[in-house]
Structure 1
Amino acid sequence: MYESSNLELSTGGRAVTVEIVSRSEDAHPLAHIRSLVDDLCDGAPDAAARHAPLIRAALLQALYSFPTDEQLLEQLRYNALYRWFVGLRGGESLWCESDYAGALEALRSDESAAALFRRAVNEARAYAALMPGRFRVDAALIEAWARTPAPSPLNGTDWFRSDAARTSRLDRARAVILRRVADPKLDADAVAAELHMSRRALYLLFERCGLTPARAIREIRLDCCFRLLRDERYCHRKITDIAMDHGFKHFASFSRQFKMRYGISPSAVLPSIAKH
């Protein structure tokens, strides 16, 4: 099977049209996978289809086993084939490392976009299996992305105590968060660095519990504050000080998150001795 396209050149003041003929079976396998993704996106709602470049980037990461987001984005800066596959033009740049991870997380939390993503992952995986010599597939990542998202987490931080979640790595992640709970700069990158794992691996670890690292950090901070506010030994402390001591930067934000979490305001938790 052959495909042809015309390329217009200018030489000696004259326009010349050159017909380029190529055999489609000799095309790079990424060309076929891009066509698969494009076909899926063409039949998807606009809100989901706009994620096509992000879906292609994620597939690229999994098909070539780039262990970190940083390595993927570095490849996209310098590899013309990969840039074409994702859909980047010229010097165009779509994401920094944190933006890419956040965008992928948002995609997978949107029901229609996540369904489109899973279909693309499954079709790309099936095609890559036919060409084992052309890809270095990250099977664990592909398997995780192909699954339907985990159910909502258990109430509170009981997700750390559930049988399904009691793994040594989750316990170590919790220990890191508790030890650095006062650090307002604590984030997914800091936890991943202390555990000597990639940001992507950390997100997958928490995903099994239906959480993100950011939510885990927030819930642990809120639980610590809740316990201290109920403890009569700390009734002399200001609520604002307790919040700031546990990594919250703004009292208004803390109060709002606390009420969403427990259904009452922080002051309502205080023991009766502190209210008089």
Structure 2
Amino acid sequence: MSSWQQAGIDRDIPRLEPVFRSMMTALIGSLLETPVDERNIKLARIAAIKKFVRENYRNPALDVNEVVAYSFLSRRALYYLFEHEPLQVNGYIRALRTLEALELLSDQNSWKRSLGDIADASGFANLTAMRRAVRESTGLSLRDAQENPDLSQIKAAELRKLTGL
């Protein structure tokens, strides 16, 4: 595979790594006639996808379709992969964005930034989406989150625990 001459393949190698690892594990397992531990392959795929989401959640264009394209899985296979996780992929993206918004809202200088700017910096498509996500995840309004940074940090800690951060 190192002899591939296709232009741009170097950009795809990092995201193809979990696929290659899964293929190689399955191939070696079949050659050695030993069962492959599917759980290890599944955990590696989940970890790679979560890393991708953590690196890109601030991009408003990131959605489940982008994760599907990154992971080379069908939408159905992606949901199946995350079926025993505390959050599905879209919930994980939303939780990371909400966590970022809470961090920015509880910052002492948050009053100097517009709420729209905070929504953009957190990866939300618009202010309404951020308002809804913060309310549904924490029960707080944006004003409550700004006026009571200690409570925001408590809610942020709960989200960190849920997302595994």
Aligned partner of 2:58 in structure 1 is: 182
Pair 1:174–1:235, CA change in 2 (3 A):
farther
Aligned partner of 2:81 in structure 1 is: 205
2:92 aligned with 1:216: yes
Q: What value does the CA root-mean-square deviation take over the aligned residues?
A: 2.5
Pair 1:241–1:200, CA change in 2 (3 A):
same
Aligned partner of 1:260 in structure 2 is: 136
Question: Given residue 175 of structure 1, which amino acid in structure 2 is its aligned partner?
Answer: K
Matches within 5 A, 1:1-276: 167-232=43-108, 234-270=110-146
Greater helix percent: which structure?
Answer: 2
For 1:246 and 1:195, how far apart are their aligned partners in 2? 23
Greater strand percent: which structure?
Answer: 1
**TM-fit CA distance, 1:170:** 2.4
Moved over 4 A (4+): none
TM-score with structure 2 setting the length? 0.55
Pair 1:243–1:214, CA change in 2 (3 A):
same
For 1:190 and 1:238, how far apart are their aligned partners in 2? 28
For 1:234 and 1:173, how far apart are their aligned partners in 2? 31
Aligned partner of 1:9 in structure 2 is: none
Unaligned runs of 5+ in 1: 1-165
CA contact (8 A) 2:102 2:145 kept: yes
CA contact (8 A) 1:187 1:214 kept: yes
Equivalent residues, number: 108
CA contact (8 A) 2:106 2:148 kept: no
Pair 1:233–1:176, CA change in 2 (3 A):
farther
Pair 1:168–1:251, CA change in 2 (3 A):
same
Q: Deviations over 1:126-163 (max 9, x none)?
A: xxxxxxxxxxxxxxxxxxxxxxxxxxxxxxxxxxxxxx
For 1:272 and 1:220, how far apart are their aligned partners in 2? 20
Question: Given residue 177 of structure 1, which amino acid in structure 2 is its aligned partner?
Answer: V
Q: Indicate the SS of the match to 1:249.
A: coil
Max Rg structure: 1
Q: Indicate the SS of the match to 1:207.
A: coil
Pair 1:232–1:168, CA change in 2 (3 A):
farther
Q: Indicate the SS of the match to 1:185.
A: coil
Pair 1:207–1:231, CA change in 2 (3 A):
same
Q: Indicate the SS of the match to 2:59.
A: coil
